[in-house]
Amino acid sequence: MHLVALLFLTELSVRKIVIAGNWKMFKTQAESKEFLEGFLPSLVDTPQDREVLLCVPFTDLNLLSQSLHGSRVNLGAQNVHWEDNGAYTGEISAPMLTEIGVRYVIVGHSERRQYFGETDETVNLRLKAAQKHGLTPILCVGETKQQRDAGETESIITNQLQKDLVGVDQNNLIIAYEPIWAIGTGDTCETIEANRVIGLIRTQLNNPNVTIQYGGSVKPNNVDQIMAQPEIDGALVGGASLEPASFARIVNYQ
C-alpha cells in the first residue's frame, strides 16, 4: 500500500506545471513592452516549479525574445508550418521560430480549426515539425457546445487525440483541453468536469507525465479552484493574459 502511494506521488511530482498566456491577435510591440513592465516584477515570488510562458503574435516574438532574456518567462508562438521553408505565403517555419529563441508553439487551437481550415491531419504535421526542431508543441483539443449537448465530448476528444498524435513524441508535448464553448465566453467549464475530461485525455496517452492544461475563461477569480484539481497541470489563458495584474494573479495562483 505504501509503495503504491509512493509511486502515485512520484508520478504526480514529475508532471510540470505550465501557465501559458495566449495573446491571440492582440498587442503591438509597444503594447507588449508596456505589458512586460507591469508583469515581470510580479514574478519575484512565483514558485520556481511553475513554468510561465507567453504565446504572442509573430511580430512580437523578436522583441519579447530579447526582453525576456534572463527572466523566467519562456516564449511561444501560436502556429508553425510543417515545412522548413517553401512557397507557403503567410506561414512561419520552425527554424524561423527557434532562431529567435522561441521554445513553445500552440498547435491546433480551436480558432485555427474553426476559422482557418486546420484539420487533424495538418495539426499532426505541425506537431511533428515543431518537435523535429526542438520546439515543445501545445496541442489544443476540445468540443463545441453542440457536441457536448449531444453527449459526444468523449468521442470527439478521443478522435482528435488519435489523429493528432500519430507519430508524435509524447515526451515533448503539452496538451490543452479547451472546451470551445468556454473560450472567451466567461462560461468556464465546471472544475470537476474539466478535471474529469483531462483525466480521460490522460488515459489516451502512453506517457503519464504529459502536462495537460485547462483553457477557457481562466480568470484571477477561478484559477485557484482550477489549479486545485489533481489532473489539471496548468492553464492556457486568453483574455486574462492581456493585462499584467490579471495574468500575474493567475501565474501566482494559491
Question: Which residues here bind ligand 13P, judged by CB under 6 A?
Answer: 22, 109, 178, 183-184, 215-218, 236-240
Give the 3-state secondary structure of residue 172.
Answer: coil
Active site (annotated) includes residue 37: no
Residue type at 179? P
| Nearest to ligand 13P of 59, 114 (CB atom) | 114
Of 168 and 179, nearer to ligand 13P (C-beta) is 179
Cβ distance to ligand 13P smaller for residue 95 or 220: 220
Which of 217/252 has CB closer to ligand 13P? 217
Shortest distance in whole angstroms from residue 181 CB to ligand 13P: 10
Among all residues, whose Cβ is closest to ligand 13P? 238
Distance of alpha carbon 47 from alpha carbon 64, whole angstroms = 22
Beta bridge partners of 140: 176
109 catalytic? Reply is yes
In the complex, minimum distance from the CB of residue 132 to ligand 13P, in angstroms, rounded to a whole number = 24
* CA 217/CA 82 separation, integer angstroms: 30
What's the CA dihedral at 34, 25, 50, 154 to 10 degrees?
Answer: 160
Our measurement of the distance from residue 189's CA atom to the centroid of its chain's CA atoms, rounded to an integer in Å, reads 16
Amino acid at 76: G
Q: Which amino acid is at 158?
A: T
The separation between CA 86 and the C-alpha centre of its own chain, rounded to angstroms, equals: 27
Q: Which of 51, 109, 118, 231 is catalytic?
A: 109
Residues with catalytic annotation?
Answer: 109, 178
